[in-house]
């Protein structure tokens, strides 16, 4: 099998350029694009795929399989970038969508590693944006919010750090009051229905000691 033609191709993440993307034609009629990044290092030395110098070169052992794998990864990457352009993605969620679309797991792993290194996929950023959206629509407790993030594949440490960043003092206090009202922890006369139960419930649901003390002080006045 020999290389018939090699052409550069543009594309990739905005601002990154596409210097390592090639459009390759082989002697069996195959025509496909790939990114050099997804090839093993020993296949991309000595300008192996530079236009004007690679034409007519015989492929080495295992090289065709490596090229087709790189091409499959590039297709998965392009699909991933389309999904990212529509909405922020978590690593776990993006992996699930790519595999469901038929991309091989090995390609998905390679693509996610690259996109994560480029900060195109960032679980902390996804978690913070998801939390801000959720807080604007619902009165969930911190415990429930953490469980929802973990259910979306966000690692526990990232989920906790994101929640701590989003729930500053006033935001947590507002959430605590809305949560208490939503769950009937306040009587209709705006007095605490059962102080002992209320404190225990709010503590169990993950509200911070500072928020609980502030809530107690406000309702005791």
pLDDT, greater one: 115 or 185: 115
- Of the candidates 73, 59, 61, the one whose C-alpha atom is nearest the C-alpha of residue 30 is 59
Q: What is the DSSP letter of 25?
A: E
Q: Is the pLDDT of residue 69 over 90?
A: yes
The answer for residues whose C-beta is within 8 angstroms of residue 205's C-beta and 6 or more apart is 141, 142, 143, 144, 179
pLDDT, position 15:
45
The full set of domains in the chain, from first to last, is: 3-117 (1.10.10.10), 123-220 (no CATH)
pLDDT, greater one: 13 or 69: 69
Q: Is the pLDDT of residue 215 over 80?
A: yes
Instruction: Read off the pLDDT of each residue in 52-74 and give the average, rounded to a whole number.
Output: 91
């Amino acid at each position: 099998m020999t290389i018939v033609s090699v052409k550069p191709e543009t594309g990739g993440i905005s601002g990154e350029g596409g210097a390592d993307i090639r459009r390759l034609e082989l002697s069996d009629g195959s025509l496909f694009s790939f990114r050099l990044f997804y090839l093993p290092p020993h296949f991309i030395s000595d300008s192996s795929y530079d236009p004007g110098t690679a034409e007519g070169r015989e492929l080495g052992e295992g090289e065709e399989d490596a090229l087709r794998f790189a091409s499959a990864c590039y297709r998965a990457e392009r699909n991933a970038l389309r999904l990212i352009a529509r909405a922020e993605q978590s690593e776990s969620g993006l992996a699930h969508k790519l595999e469901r679309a038929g991309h091989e797991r090995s390609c998905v792993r390679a693509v996610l590693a690259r996109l994560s290194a480029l900060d195109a996929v960032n679980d902390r950023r996804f978690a913070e944006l998801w939390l801000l959206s959720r807080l604007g629509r619902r009165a969930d407790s911190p415990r429930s919010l953490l469980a929802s993030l973990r259910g979306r594949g966000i690692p526990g440490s990232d989920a906790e750090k994101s929640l701590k960043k989003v729930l500053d003092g006033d935001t947590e206090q507002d959430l605590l009051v809305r949560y208490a009202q939503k769950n009937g922890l306040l009587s209709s006369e705006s007095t605490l229905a059962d102080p002992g139960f209320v404190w225990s419930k709010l503590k169990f649901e993950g509200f911070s000691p500072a928020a609980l003390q502030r809530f107690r002080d406000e309702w005791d006045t």
